[in-house]
Structure 1
């Protein structure tokens, strides 16, 4: 691989920026100062930029326990974004797999693998998502059958796909949906005359938010967890 491309892949710099740091004599290979952008880098070479060894960043698959008050966006002038919670190189290459609302907490997936992200978030794959919901008013027993039949949302042409509702307490339930319409959970409860006061995503497919992952913390998915999502 060319040296300038290697630097770009490790740092997120553009090709012209990589050329500039080379011309400024800020890069060494195996302890030797280098300036040639076209120089080929071998796997055994140690490339150092201003004292920091460079390593190509591979594809990343991250689970984050999203707190309330953070936006699932790459930039926002008014609110903090979920990427502020990550201590990752080249964070601008990452994106969220779907979104959680500003006030919604829970399991959020983040990656720089576009194909994987599409498989997880595409409606045609029908990957289930389970939310714990707290409501303003008591949840009627009829909500179970209504959600199972599909709810007609305001402004929509088709009802929601059948969803599974498990009433935990008068104002608390677990809801599993198989699509991802805009503000879907909140709109489903609004359609039956109730209001969602708090919303927390617990599960995507077979992947459960670990109890020991603190709010605001994140980690890489394990191979076993990736397999769960692939099923």
Structure 2
């Protein structure tokens, strides 16, 4: 696990890792070519069928061929870069940081905090005023599956409401309510027994502003919203504005959750 560092400049602190996590299991040849940015998977299949791809000096025309990290792949006689470095980061997102790569209004983004050489994108989004767990990566396959509702990745939020949540409203939310973009899936709702303004909500979808819209539909305003966990990942050990790279074990567990391992 990466050791946290404090940034020299004022503002959010961040952490760095010594190395990125890169795939070390065999993958289909067309994916290796696509990952290198040479061609799409479909075009890569055409290149393979046409005999324009060599693996370790030998022409390969079988589409199902798999290659490992140490295999040398040539396309049209030119070696390809086998893998881009795959990077996986968890950020404890602070308030007022937006999750787009740039902002026409000049507002701070999460990419002003997570400054690393790889170009990353967020796994889903948190709105400007929401804090907590945010994943960033350049692994498109994993990100797309994590965001797909089919895999029902749990997200746990802690909401502070403008008024105590009534038990009958909690039951309705738990069973699913109707929003403008369709009904919500059943979820888990826990009211803080010591303070009914505070509510924990576990959902398995990633719709835009879903938690805020759920409470708004029931007549409540969310005053504060913090994502406490995503899958099994939490911000434990990270202050607001700090981040770390995921461990290899954490990456593999995420892949298992979405049937990539």
| TM-score normalized with structure 1 length | 0.71
The aligned residue for residue 96 of structure 1 is 122
Which secondary structure state, in structure 1, belongs to the residue aligned with residue 215 of structure 2? helix
Mapping of residues 75-224 of structure 1, within 5 Å: 75-78=102-105, 79-90=107-118, 93-153=119-179, 155-156=180-181, 158-168=182-192, 169-210=195-236, 212-224=237-249
In 1, the alpha carbon distance for the partners of 2:131 and 2:197 equals 18
Which 10-residue stretch deviates more, 136-145 or 126-135?
A: 136-145
Displacement after TM superposition at 1:195 (Å): 0.8
5+ long unaligned stretches in structure 1: 1-8, 10-39, 44-55
Which secondary structure state, in structure 1, belongs to the residue aligned with residue 228 of structure 2? strand
Which secondary structure state, in structure 2, belongs to the residue aligned with residue 188 of structure 1? helix
The aligned residue for residue 73 of structure 1 is 100
Displacement after TM superposition at 1:223 (Å): 2.1
Count of residues paired in the alignment: 175
In 1, the alpha carbon distance for the partners of 2:149 and 2:222 equals 23
* Deviation per residue, 1:86-110 (Å, 9 max, x gap): 23114xx210000000000000000
Relative CO higher for 1 or 2, CA cutoff 8 Å, sep ≥ 6?
2
Which 10-residue stretch deviates more, 141-150 or 185-194?
A: 141-150
The Cα RMSD (Å) is 1.9
Displacement after TM superposition at 1:144 (Å): 2.6
Larger radius of gyration: 1
* Deviation per residue, 1:61-99 (Å, 9 max, x gap): 000010011110011122111000023114xx2100000
5+ long unaligned stretches in structure 2: 1-35, 37-77
Displacement after TM superposition at 1:182 (Å): 1.6
Displacement after TM superposition at 1:57 (Å): 6.0
Moved beyond 4 Å, runs of 4+: none
Displacement after TM superposition at 1:170 (Å): 1.3
- Are 1:207 and 1:228, in contact at CA under 8 Å, matched by a contact in 2? no
